[in-house]
Amino acid sequence: MRLNAFLARAGVASRRRADELIKAGRVTVNGKPGQLNTVVGARDRVEVDGKEVVRQPLAYVLLHKPAGVVTTARDPQGRPTVVQLVPYEPRVVPVGRLDADTTGALLLTNDGPLAHRLAHPRYGAEKTYVAEVEGDPDEKALAALRDGIELDDGRTAPARARRLGRGRVELVLHEGRTHQVKRMLEAVGHPVTRLHRSVYAGLTLDGLAAGEWRKLTAREVEQLRTAARPPA
């Protein structure tokens, strides 16, 4: 594990802040100054300002993100953040992002390698969204969503799309581009008025009201690991 990831997982700082600590010479590994490319093993002793950094256990939390909360650890504008909603020890951070006005399933963890795989489109972790839109998409619009939409950052991968009712669409994606669902529906002439992520990598929000969270079970963690395995 890279040194900055080790420090982030231990709750010392974010990876970016950990890089700053390393560059400042405040981090040592086995008594020697740490470098940005230093890899930490199970038997290595890491210290920050002379104090040993204790490894923290892995933690996995599912949050039902409410509207008006940003998916960051802190916000310069003073808006509430998802990390503030989950006062969990050891410290966990969100996997990927949901827009401030988007609600739904959000995973938070300190398992950096797993978080990276889940956020990467190569591994194909499924995300299900329910969108309320302007107008009422017809079969032509749904077919376009299923085939993939040409956006300014390239064509989207094929998605599963179905109409849930007048002005309501369900989309199942394997990608996670910025504002992707909103941009896809805008491209077919149906701007999103409300967006909710109902399922993330097989995890549902059953029993969780907006703003509530829970620890994942061991079985659910294994489910995530399965979802994050590369395709055969």
Q: Distance between CA atoms of 191 and 199, rounded to whole angstroms?
A: 21
Q: Distance between CA atoms of 114 and 120, rounded to whole angstroms?
A: 10
136 is catalytic: no
Given the residues 19, 44, 49, 99, the one annotated as active site: 99
Residue 87 makes CB contacts below 8 A (sequence gap 6+) with none
Distances (CA, A) of 200 to 2, 50, 54, 95, 121: 27, 41, 31, 10, 13
Q: Using the structure block, give the residue that is written with the tokens 């896809």.
A: 184
Q: Distance between CA atoms of 171 and 197, rounded to whole angstroms?
A: 9
Q: Active-site residue numbers?
A: 99
